[in-house]
Amino acid sequence: MVQTTITVTVDGTSYTDQVEPRMLLVQYLRETLGKTGTLIGCDTSNCGACTVHLDGVSVKSCTMFAVQADGHEVTTIEGIAGADGLHPMQTAFHENHALQCGFCTPGMIMASIDLLRENPNPDEQMIRDGLEGNLCRCTGYQNIVKAVRSAAETEAAKVELGATIPVGQPS
Amino acid sequence: MTITEIGASRLRKEDQRLITGRTRYTDNMVLPGMLHIALVRSPFAHARITAINVDEAKRAPGVIMVLTGKDVADEQGGIPSAWPVTPDQKAPPYLPIAVEHVAYAGEIVACVIGRTAAAARDALELIDVDYDDLPPVLDLEEAMTDTVLSHPDLGTNLSATWIFDSAAAGTGTDVAQALASSEVVIERTYYQQRLIPAFMEPRSTVVDPTGEQLTMWSATQVPHILKLMISLALSIPESKVRVVAPDVGGGFGGKLAVTAEEFITLLAARRTGKPCKYTETRTESLMGAHHGRAQVQRIRLSATKEGIVTGLDVNLLADMGAYLGVITSGIPILGAFMYNGIYKFPAYRFECNNLFTNKAPTGAYRGAGRPEATFAIERAMDDLAAELDMDPVELRRKNWIKHEEFPFTTVAGLEYDSGNYEAATDKALKEFGYDELRAEQKLRRQSGDRVQLGIGVSTYTEMCGLAPSRVLGSLDYAAGGWEHAQVRVLPTGAIEVVTGISPHGQGHETSFSQIVADRLGVPFDNVEVLHGDTQVAQRGLDTYGSRSLVVGGMAVVAAADKVIEKAKTVAAHLLEASRDDIEFTAGAFGVKGTDQSMTLGEIAFAVFSAHNMPDGFEPSLDSDATFDPVNFNFPHGTHLCAMEVDTETGAVTLRKYVCVDDIGNVINPLLVDGQIHGGLVQGISQALFEEAVYDESGTLVTGSFVDYLVPSAADLPMFTTDRTVTPALTNTLGVKGVGEAGTIASTPAIVNGVLDAVRHLGVDDILMPCTPSRVWNALRDAAQGGGRHRSPDPSSTKPDLDPAGGN
Ligand code: FES
Ligand code: FES
């Protein structure tokens, strides 16, 4: 099988690899790079377990080929924590008991971060609609919605206080 | 210790690895030289295999080996059934890889072992299987007639008939007489559609055959049961098998199984001498992992004109699917004890016919038999209330067991230890605003509003905490229902708790830490809970049936208490006091009336060094305990929902949901609410969204997440969850199970609510899931023909493509 060379920055580290053109981005992350924090839950792009950020925007990494990530920056669940610990969305999920088995969680957190990037102050329905592409079988979503809402409020409070705590991916 | 552990909403210990992606799901594992498995599955529901040609696949690049059923016929054993519900139960052999005959679409017919997953998958297409088509049996009522056989060699589709009769059992009177002599009898047939557990983590298994032992990692709820079954079915000494359930991404009963895929991975590893991995695709998971529910329920309920129920007769057809998995046959039987719900019925008869069809095998799915039972009785109570023109809550009040009547032995023979249905119901009615919503409903009916309002009511109780071993024995289940725990005190005073339960999302690392921190008076963070590895937790019966806390947690308590007793002996010796004078409080052992005391940590180190022990004292505080419950426990609750039905489109909206559950004492309210939320959604989803649909040739139409509708956040509202607390009297923690409650109660509540919105328009039945098109069709039929709307048998239904519905 022909191989293509790609260079991708994943969680802040640049990697150059030979990949088969048909290799999915999620397979590249898991199998080639060992980034097993990103998970696979379906084969029809419905579940969202594989959600990562491509240049800061959330994508389902099972819907892309690895070669399409060539020259781009990918952030996974393993790369969002700042130097001082957890990303605020990770903290919000923990504090609101927004996960049970945890299988949807990496994708759910990545999608939620992107949701707040697009709309920093979503109401309940906007959060529900915004997470439509991510399935969870355990939580009934109630605490996930609460977590996203609380992350939004925490960020808003910080802005009000004029604090400059960095949010989002490490640059 | 400033915190009271019991009842504290501790944040979960499990979360750190799960929110940062440092997880150990089985599919994450990579071992040196690991090979990958892909499986050929039958596209036919029923066929004879006449030839399999694997030559080309064997030559394909990256393929190491191809195995057919014939190749492994002598060594593959069979998937065992652990539950012969009757002495003459019939079952076809359930081979991991089919040899001559396939009985459902998705059954495995060959296995490719490749160097990479892609290489193995690529070779699947190169395998040629010749099939001779046989007619499939897809409908339960047809299966019962034996006109077409799902397994011709078996000679019948009937696996077993199981009967309970209260007159025969001495727990009640004769049902036939009650039905014959009662003023009102309602007769209904309810259909429990097939559901798919659809845990988010696809099943995955890795087997490492190197070294002295076979080690299997698997996405399972039941590592201990799996280990035993592997040993029995494949004749491997039990001591040579180790099973590990690492992080497991949900189960809901769907991973309470011993699977063909696990056996095949083991065989492949043994044959190749290399670690092998199999991970299913979602499509394979939906078609090949066991399904749930799938019953036809014929109910007859008799009562006086005043609404006092006089008898209940239940006749079930239960779909086993094509084979009996480890507990397939027992699932409907678990429901047998729950059809009488929270009520005082004088006469009861239950008959269940377990039938084979050419569909995926069924098995446990959240609630396992009990949601089906609760659905039937709660639907029937609503139908009876409508017949008598009585408020459905009032009817239930007239028939339920009053709180002062506990303990109460039911017509099904169970002893309910405690409960307070009045308190839970009153609280729910108040929080829901029942009277106000009834008033709004009346107004909408009067004005002929396009959007009608329905109020759904459901009560429930369930038998939780599987199970008293004696009871399981009386039901002919092969194993017991005890649980094991070990509490170890390390030299530094850190505590290790080993439990035989196997959590997969429930949060027992947290709740069991709370129990032990409370019991031993040590910091929560000093407790580590170990589980899910048969080499670490040598004994156990795993997690299902809402048993982990009520059985496993009690074993932990018993082990911790033994630690305290041992430590007292050491403390007395070291403090030179009489053992009777040693008092244990808040993690310290003190001498009564003095300020002398030692902490558990100090004692642990003294025991570790063992320099100065009492004569004859075995220098260890570590303690084991096995807990076998004396009875089930019986959580209960009242669930209410407000359903809006658009009578022009059939669209159904869940406007409000209030539940008050009584699960006794609560260790961690945060975890309990989470269990309720998730349970509610699975139950609501049965009522409104989900159905495993097969077409007329037996192909699963809902074979991907495009067609099998697992709801998203956008499909659901917020729920109001509340509690009353009536402690269980059958365990010293006073706790009851909570894992299945939400699912059990919510399905009937929702369907009752939908029907309550449209009953005055002539509709008194709608099949689940109540999709817009089904609701719309029911309304149209009622308007055109009037009279009772009877829906067609669900096995002949197609996915709803009705544009008016737009599911
Ligand atoms: S794995 Fe399901 S959407 Fe990507
Ligand atoms: S936490 Fe299990 S699927 Fe979401």
Considering only alpha carbons, which residue of chain A is nearest residue B11? A95
Residue of B660, B639, B663, B634 lying closest to B418 (CA atoms)? B634
- Do A134 and A155 belong to one domain? yes
What CA–CA distance (Å, rounded) separates B624 from B560?
9
Confirm whether A44 is domain-assigned: yes
Nearest to A46 among B199, B247, B706 (CB): B706
Of the residues A24, A56, A78, which one is the last residue of a structural domain?
A78
User: Contact, B554 vs B519, CB < 8 A?
Assistant: no
pLDDT at B798 over 90: no
Residue of B163, B461, B464, B167 lying closest to B314 (CA atoms)? B163
The residue with tokens 């923990």 is A94
Confirm whether A149 is domain-assigned: yes
Q: Which two tokens stand for residue B506?
A: 């429930």
Q: How many CB atoms lie within 10 A of CB B704?
A: 19
- Rg from Cα positions in chain A: 16
Question: For the ranges B7-16, B151-160, B464-473, B579-588, which has the lowest average pLDDT?
Answer: B464-473
For the stretch A88-108, pLDDT in tens is 999 999 999 999 999 999 999
pLDDT at B343 over 90: yes
Q: Which two tokens stand for residue B233?
A: 């079915």
Q: Which of A45, A103, A134 to mutate to test the pocket of ligand 1 (most atoms within 8 A of CB)?
A: A45
pLDDT at B800 over 70: no
Provide the CATH topology of domain B482-627.
Aldehyde Oxidoreductase; domain 4 (3.30.365)
Confirm whether A48 is domain-assigned: yes
Q: A141: domain CATH number?
A: 1.10.150.120
pLDDT at B785 over 80: no
Query: ipTM of the assembly?
Result: 0.95
CB contact under 8 A, A103 and B250: yes
SS3 B761: helix
Report the b/e string of B625-636 with b at 16+ CB within 10 A.
bebebebbbbbb
CB contact under 8 A, B20 and A94: no
Strands A51-54 and B408-409: unpaired
- Structural domains in chain A (count): 2
Q: A13: domain CATH number?
A: 3.10.20.30
Q: Please confirm whether the linkage preceding B197 is cis (ω < 30° from 0).
A: no
Give domain limits for chain B.
Answer: 31-134+200-250+255-288, 363-462+633-797, 482-627
Confirm whether A61 is domain-assigned: yes
Looking at CA atoms only, how far is residue A76 from chain B in angstroms? 9
Q: Report residue B728's pLDDT band, with 50, 70 and 90 as the boundaries.
A: very high
Confirm whether A167 is domain-assigned: no
Considering only alpha carbons, which residue of chain B is nearest residue A104? B200
> Are B363-462+633-797 and B482-627 equal in CATH topology?
yes
Strands A13-19 and B35-41: unpaired
User: Contact, B497 vs B516, CB < 8 A?
Assistant: yes
Q: The domain containing residue A9 runs over which residues? A: 4-78
User: Contact, B286 vs B267, CB < 8 A?
Assistant: no
pLDDT at B799 over 70: no
Residue of B377, B310, B374 lying closest to B347 (CA atoms)? B310
- Do A74 and A93 belong to one domain? no
- Do A70 and A127 belong to one domain? no
SS3 readout for B313-338: EEEEEEEEECCCCCCHHHHHHHHHCC
Q: Which two tokens stand for residue B79?
A: 């998937």
Whether CATH 3.40.50.2000 fits B363-462+633-797: no
Mean pLDDT on B296-301: 98
Give the A window 125-144 contacts with B, CB below 8 Å.
127-129, 131-144
Amino acid at B199: F
How remote is the CA of residue B105 from the centroid of ligand 2, in Å? Answer: 28
Q: Which two tokens stand for residue B419?
A: 């409960």
- Do A14 and A70 belong to one domain? yes
For the stretch B398-441, pLDDT in tens is 999 999 999 999 999 999 999 999 999 999 999 999 999 999 99
For the stretch B436-470, pLDDT in tens is 999 999 999 999 999 999 999 999 999 998 889 99
User: Contact, A106 vs B25, CB < 8 A?
Assistant: no
CA distances to B41, B201, B504, B679, B749 from A138, rounded to whole Å, are: 29, 11, 10, 8, 20
Of the residues A78, A112, A139, which one is the last residue of a structural domain?
A78
Q: Which CATH architecture has domain B31-134+200-250+255-288?
A: Alpha-Beta Complex (3.90)
Q: Which two tokens stand for residue A79?
A: 């790369």
When the pLDDT of each residue in chain B is averaged and rounded to a whole number, the result is: 95
What CA–CA distance (Å, rounded) separates B279 from B201?
10
- Do A124 and A145 belong to one domain? yes
Whole-model pTM: value is: 0.95
Q: How many CB pairs under 8 A join A and B?
A: 171
pLDDT at B6 over 80: yes
Torsional class of B506: left (φ above 0), alpha (ψ -120 to 50), beta (otherwise): alpha
For the stretch B253-264, pLDDT in tens is 999 999 999 999
What CA–CA distance (Å, rounded) separates A57 from A74?
9
Confirm whether A33 is domain-assigned: yes
pLDDT at B101: 97
Q: Which ligand is nearest to the CA of B12?
A: 2
Confirm whether A165 is domain-assigned: no
Q: Which two tokens stand for residue B231?
A: 């040993």
Confirm whether A169 is domain-assigned: no
